Chains A and B, each alone.
Chain A
Amino acid sequence: MTRLPLVFGTVVLAGVALAAQSAPGSLDPHAFAKPATTSWPTYNGDYSGRRFSPLTQVTDQNVGSLSLAWMYRTSGGGAIKATPLQIDGVLYFANPDNVYAVDARTGRERWHVQWKSAGGIHIGNRGVAVLGDWLYFETPDCHLVSLNIKDGSERWRQTICDLDLFYYASAAPVVVKNHVITGVSGDDLDVPGYIESHDPTTGALQWRWYVVPQNLGDPGADTWPSLDAMRHGGGMTWQPVTYDPDLNLIYVATGNPQPVVANANRKGANLFTASIVALNPDTGKMVWYFQSSPHDTHDWDATQAPVLIDDVVDGRPRKLLAQASRNGKFFVLDRTTGKALVSSEFVKTNWSLGFDAKGQPIPDPKKMPQLDGALVTPNQAGAANWPPPSFSPATGLFYVSAARAWSIWYIYDPSDNPQGWGGTDRGGYSQSMIQAMDYKTGKVRWSHVWEGSARSGLLTTAGNVLFAGGPSNDIVALNATTGDALWHAGLNASVSNGPITYDLDGRQYVIAGAGDTLWAFVMNR
């Protein structure tokens, strides 16, 4: 990484020169285009973000016979928020400063690596990426690290952000061709978000794309009031990208603008924060964008997974992208052009005045944070958050862990030049649910309301089963067509990641993380 220059004055982040180079390590771009059955080779199982498995051994008819196979308790790093990868019978996952390799059949530890930390926020780690014999993960103290998957030995490390600027790293990298795509985290201070591509073999930086414009005249600069505002405009890249190998586009969901709540010094739409952005993975150049939350003032970063859906309209295939955004809105886009086809809500909200001609929400100024408080739904945690959704081609439904939640939003810093957050929300009433969305209409097909609080990643299978975390520290199976509850098993904590499934030796396993423990279930026989 290019060391950022020391400049007395405003943060000036120099453009990073393209250093793309051919590398011996590269991935067939179509390798993860379809869901696997005997492995789970990338964060979402494939590149689409659907988290749908074609496995059918476990069905809505027999899921009641699903039983515990094994459990593995981690020894450091806190809750498992990572989605494990399963490759050649080994599960690989991370939590902050720790990487684990665990036998996928038995739960026995193969190896465990601890990272000596220099700081950073340790709120979570979404997981690892693997290319060949090499694993990639991010650390809270701003490193991208490559390990040998056989024994965890380190190959290289690269600095990807600056701890002094209160960045940290928590995202799961994604390998696309010969690119390790890495996002960055942190919204305490007003710094720009970006996403990078690194050479899988050497770790060298290939490109960096800033989420917010860095120079006057850059695309999106006209949506900021000043150069200073946009250079410090935030937009972190917290979540893994999805990828269409035919279009050769990665889909990046970007975070909230800065300052987060008090917003007097950033009037405008604040592009390209809280947006879905299509980038060329070879160059880092933007092809299109769609802003899910124009001028966000509620920390509703739009980093929910852009899920790729292939449809057939009038006999012709159509490439779509769907997102259930943290602000409660549901979008279906043409993923070739970024044009919105459906804009709706997956829960009722009260903060917008409809949609503009592009299908983007129009924020209601009265529902932006106020000195005396504004009652808003959703709350800061959002109608959805980072836990990954699922789309089942078998049912045609998009599933999301949702919440109808209220809070009161306050401005704490009434000045014309707030910094950081300058306000927040307080209080709250929340109702958790799974929403099943008909992506063609944007309407809720069914809603499974939880008795209590639950928010986890989701998994659907061709057996018509939806796996989710329930409100009673349990993993729950629902009928994917109707939402009816079918089965559950008590765990040590609420499900804290996205469940996965795979077939080994003719047996279908279901894996979920709950707190510090990884749980494996398999069919009795």
Chain B
Amino acid sequence: MGRYVARWITAGALGVAGVVALSAQAGPTDLPKVDAASADRGRTVWVAQCIDCHGSQARGTDKGPNLVRSVLVLHDRYGSELEPFLKKGHETQSGTPSASFTHDQVVDLANFLRQRIDDTLRGSPIFVVQNILTGDATRGAAYFNGAGGCASCHSPTGDFAGIAGRMSPVDIQQRMIFPSLGGRGRGRGRGRGAAPATTAPTQVVTVAVTPPGGATVSGALVQMDDFTVTLRDASGNIQTFRRTPDMRVVKTDPLQAHHDLLDRITDQDMHDLVAYLETLK
């Protein structure tokens, strides 16, 4: 289920005043915090003792279970569950008795495993876009100059000159499809979004209002709903009109061609266009 915004954790006894705001999180408040140096040491132990059965990312193999999904590991706090388990004896790939692991080694392993769990969460360092340059630049150029209608507003030697040097491929893709976001399209949840575009669009939605029997007033759209419309006219004045059935209101969105493209462009067209724009170094 999509979550839009993480909010607050409040604390305080039932019926007792006083609210403490903490940062929102998915798990319990005592969720282990990974010590990176310890996790690195744990990786060494992992490679020597565990990796053959449980895999490089602890997601299991035919010989051993997935530990990212292990209830024991998920309940663990810096070895609190792992150490008693290993003390009972568990097969290791080197033959070293697991009961001989030192407390520090177990803590290191616990940190390594918690790091693997965290890596599965949105916002983890490995939660990033892969290679998206799969299109054909020649076809992309043809679409740019033909069916896409891009050339009617954009030029490879004008506003798009050197665009590949200013923006990453995924930013080009996002900006091209969703220009109203200025290339700031972000993954939802806690995923990493695209970096902000280096040049923000300056497109302005305008509106022309013609009251019954009155002159047309035009300007930049400030706000509009079913009941009122507000614009900023050429003098910078803000004007608000109460909408009536006989009032003519015409909105002009300079990005409308991009919005209309959403229903026409294919994924192949999209990838070809990115490949073409990526040639504009």
Contacts and interface: CB of A to CB of B under 8 A. Distances in A.
Interface string A1-23: 00011111111100000000000
Nearest to A298: B2
Contacts of A168: 26
A406 interface: yes
A42 to B, nearest CB: 22
A427 B117 CA distance: 27
Contacts of B5: 123
Given A10-B69, A372-B271, A373-B267, A429 B259 contact: yes
A2 to B, nearest CB: 13
B10 A11 contact: no
A425 B126 CA distance: 15
A380 B188 CA distance: 8
Contact of A97 (B6, B9, B132): B9
Contact of A372 (B59, B72, B132, B189): B132
A89 interface: no
A119 B27 CA distance: 6
Contacts, number: 266
A166 B11 contact: no
A135 to B, nearest CB: 13
Interface string A106-132: 000000011111111111100000000
Contacts of B187: 410, 424-426
A412 B194 contact: no
Contacts of A451: 224-226
Contacts of B8: 76-78, 96, 122
Contacts of B105: none
A470 interface: yes
Contacts of B174: 408, 426-427
Interface string A422-466: 101111110000000000000000000011100000000000000
Given A419-B120, A429-B180, A371 B130 contact: yes
Interface in A372-427: 372-375, 377, 380-382, 385-386, 406-408, 410-415, 417, 419-422, 424-427
A195 B266 CA distance: 40
A358 interface: no
B129 interface: yes
A437 to B, nearest CB: 21
Interface stretch (A181-189, A316-324, A327-335, A336-344): A181-189
Nearest to A13: B71
Given A190-B69, A377-B262, A121 B25 contact: yes
B177 interface: yes
Interface stretch (A51-59, A208-216, A280-288, A471-479): A471-479
A7 B28 contact: no
A164 interface: yes
A190 B74 CA distance: 12
A115 B14 contact: yes
Nearest to A98: B10
B24 A121 contact: yes
B173 interface: yes
B26 A186 contact: yes
B167 to A, nearest CB: 14
Given A121-B26, A122-B24, A408 B173 contact: yes
Interface in B205-238: 223-227
B120 A303 contact: no
A256 interface: yes
Given A97-B9, A123-B5, A366-B267, A372 B131 contact: yes
Interface string B68-91: 111111110000010001000010
A472 B230 CA distance: 12
Contact of B1 (A190, A256, A470): A256
Interface in B127-186: 127-135, 170, 173-174, 177-178, 180-181, 185-186
Interface string B252-274: 00000001001101010011000
Interface in A174-230: 185-190, 228
Contact of B14 (A78, A114, A371): A114
A155 to B, nearest CB: 12
A164 B126 contact: no
A8 B173 contact: no
B227 to A, nearest CB: 6
Nearest to B227: A488
A361 interface: no
B122 A188 contact: yes
Given A412-B129, A485-B226, A78 B7 contact: yes
Nearest to A474: B225
A498 interface: no
B56 to A, nearest CB: 10
A96 B10 contact: yes
A163 interface: yes
B7 A381 contact: no
Given A114-B15, A417-B66, 5 more contacts: A114-B10, A117-B10, A411-B130, A425-B187, A429-B259
27 contacts: A8-B90, A78-B8, A116-B11, A117-B9, A118-B28, A119-B27, A120-B26, A121-B24, A122-B8, A122-B24, A123-B5, A152-B14, A164-B71, A190-B69, A371-B131, A372-B130, A372-B134, A406-B262, A407-B185, A412-B126, A412-B128, A421-B122, A424-B127, A424-B191, A426-B185, A471-B225, A485-B227
Interface of B: 1-16, 19, 24-31, 57, 59-60, 65-75, 81, 85, 90, 117, 120-122, 126-135, 170, 173-174, 177-178, 180-181, 185-189, 191, 193-194, 223-227, 259, 262-263, 265, 267, 270-271
